[in-house]
Structure 1
Amino acid sequence: MTATAKPLVLVPSCNRMIGQHPYHIAGHKYVDAVRLAGCQPLVVPGADAQELEVLLAMADGVFLTGSPSNVHPSHFGEAVHDPALPLDPARDDWTLPLIRAALARGIPLFGICRGFQETNVALGGSLHQAVHEVEGQHDHRAPEGADAEVAYGPAHPVDVQPGGLLAGILDGPRIQVNSVHGQGIKRLAPGLRVEARAPDGLVEAFSVPEAPAFALCVQWHPEWQAAQNPVSMRLLRAFGAACAAYRDRPRAPQPSR
């Protein structure tokens, strides 16, 4: 398959100050994961309503990345719990409409960590802003000061719910995942299906059953060293196959002039 023939996948960037200058940033590992899925990544800095329509007309998939930043809690009716934690309202402003529009069009969507959380919020759900402060919940953050190999190493199992999208992709009812998130789902958005839970019951994956195409979001980071992780590769290949199917879908003939 040539590069130009690969499904085109939108990858939203984050916004960050480096020194005195603002930058658009997308993690290398997410771009690599889209390529491992057999797709062509297109990093997008943001889009207004008109630009979003143009981008979605081109896109065969949407890949929502993780980020150090959190979704602004005003989007689910709460005040900021910890002002020390980073936010990215510029990303919120366009990814929340992007999610709703992509799902409405039937464009395959895969969300990771922040992407998992912002999809839940975009569809009407809410988040725990500090999971470790919630009675009965575990601390899902990485060990403080740990290097990346430790932070993104296996942290806990998740139990895959039978009969769902995730169960159809994987070959077992339990997998080991990494865990580097401080926030998590508080109220699942209407219409979402729980696909996996952590041992403390926290939702670790969900799907959108009413979506016309693949729509799966996970709280962990399958993009981390994905090429060496069979579970990650199953997820990415399933997403890539859905993007290819969307690209190759039957289209109505264009009217003659």
Structure 2
Amino acid sequence: MGDRPLIVIPARFSASASALRYAAEVTARKLVEAVYAAGGEPLVVHPADPDSIRERFGMADGFLLPGGGDLAAHWSGQRAHHSEYDVDEAQDAFDLAVARAALEDAKPLLAICRGLQVVNVARGGDLVPDLGGAHRHLVHSIGVRENSPLRHAVGAPELIVSCYHHQGIARLGDGLRAAAYAEDGTIEAVTLDEHRGWFLGVQWHPEDTAATDPLQAGLFTRLVEESRLGAPAR
């Protein structure tokens, strides 16, 4: 791996995949390409044994929680909604454990779409169960809050982002602070107050446009740079 920080990414369970006869574990190619292009070594891992996160991934320099299906509503104390899809309790338990361990251990963590929702629920927040179709297949402008860590990271008051999500952040979890909003008021990015490590959660998919948009690529660069700071010599 050389000097590439090791970025752990939980795989997503899939009912099928091209050229495979059975169920699969997958991740988005653009996501791993964005991490690699930023100088990191992406490691896609099997979502199992949530009680053994530290033992299994003590070698990780940073974590990335990717997009995916919906969390089961009971994790946030809510009732199931008819629009829920691809709910998997094992996936949920694993992702929630990764979020908690990464934040507690001050490991760099970038949370994308479902990943942000996982972090919010892990911190005691809850979700908007269905935003309708307003944020699916959408490229739009969002406003970045002045003086937020995200504003300092991207250096711009607005971003053009690629969204695909039907759930969103409702009540923010403990210590989380909104850093960006869509025009309709939907929270699009979240940071964590008084956190010893580096964390950013975004509701959009920066990997969609990272190859052509330096501001989106910069989010992955920041994850890798922060992971490199704490990486042991290999």
Which whole-Å CA distance do the structure 2 matches of 1:94 and 1:66 have between them?
14
Residue in 2 aligned with 1:35?
36
**Structural mapping, 1:1-257, within 5 Å:** 3-18=1-16, 21-49=22-50, 51-67=52-68, 69-82=69-82, 85-132=85-132, 139-142=134-137, 155-248=139-232
The answer (yes or no) to whether the contact 1:38–1:237 under 8 Å persists in 2 is yes
* TM-score of the aligned structures, taking structure 1 as reference length: 0.84
Which whole-Å CA distance do the structure 1 matches of 2:12 and 2:87 have between them?
10
List gaps (5 residues or longer) in structure 2. none
Which whole-Å CA distance do the structure 1 matches of 2:189 and 2:209 have between them?
19
Per-residue CA distance 1:111-147 (angstroms, 9 max, x = gap): 1111111111111111111113xxxxx81122xxxxx
SS of residue matched to 1:205: strand
The answer (yes or no) to whether the contact 1:15–1:90 under 8 Å persists in 2 is no
What is the aligned-residue identity percentage? 34
- Aligned residue-pair number: 230
Which whole-Å CA distance do the structure 2 matches of 1:175 and 1:27 have between them?
22
Which whole-Å CA distance do the structure 1 matches of 2:84 and 2:36 have between them?
34
Which whole-Å CA distance do the structure 1 matches of 2:214 and 2:43 have between them?
25
The answer (yes or no) to whether the contact 1:16–1:24 under 8 Å persists in 2 is yes
Q: 1:50 to 1:75 in 2, by over 3 A?
A: closer
Which whole-Å CA distance do the structure 2 matches of 1:75 and 1:222 have between them?
26
One-letter amino acid of the counterpart of residue 104, structure 1:
E
Per-residue CA distance 1:163-219 (angstroms, 9 max, x = gap): 111011112111111221110011111200111011111110001123212100100
The answer (yes or no) to whether the contact 1:104–1:211 under 8 Å persists in 2 is no
* TM-score of the aligned structures, taking structure 2 as reference length: 0.92
**What is the CA distance between 1:46 and its match in structure 2?**
1.4
Per-residue CA distance 1:28-65 (angstroms, 9 max, x = gap): 11111211221111111113145312233111000111
Per-residue CA distance 1:223-250 (angstroms, 9 max, x = gap): 013121111122111111101012159x
SS of residue matched to 2:174: coil
Q: Which has the larger radius of gyration?
A: 1
The answer (yes or no) to whether the contact 2:135–2:164 under 8 Å persists in 1 is yes
